Amino acid sequence: MDHAMTTTGFTLDGYRIVRNVGVVRGIMVRSRSIVGTVGGALQTLVGGNISLFTSLCEKTRAEAFDLMLAHAEQQGANAVIGVRYDATEVLNGVTEVLCYGTAVIVERA
């Protein structure tokens, strides 16, 4: 699915929703490696952006987003509206990232 066919809003400009397919989601559970944990801890001494953790978080969100799109395609949707993210610490150093939205079928208005 084309990333342009996703939105955090509940309408997609230039398209009309012809069918609501339902909620779709992508879930990633990720832990920090010992190298990332030590490297991140060292970066906290300097302050500012902790690039090792930023990179890990961005990669995890992207993978959860891609899983959500795959789930939407499996359901026959061609767009996803109302996209949201949620994160929960499952264990110390282990985080679940959930990307979810409403899968829909749209056609040009």
Q: Tell me which residue range forms the domain holding 82.
A: 3-108
pTM score, whole prediction: 0.83
Cα separation, 75 vs 101, whole angstroms: 13
CATH of residue 13's domain is 3.30.110.70
> Which residues lie closer than 8 Å to 11 by C-beta, 6 or more apart?
17, 81
Question: What is the tally of structural domains in the chain?
Answer: 1
pLDDT digits (tens, 9 = 90+) for 5-52: 999 999 999 999 999 999 999 999 987 655 555 555 555 556 566 666
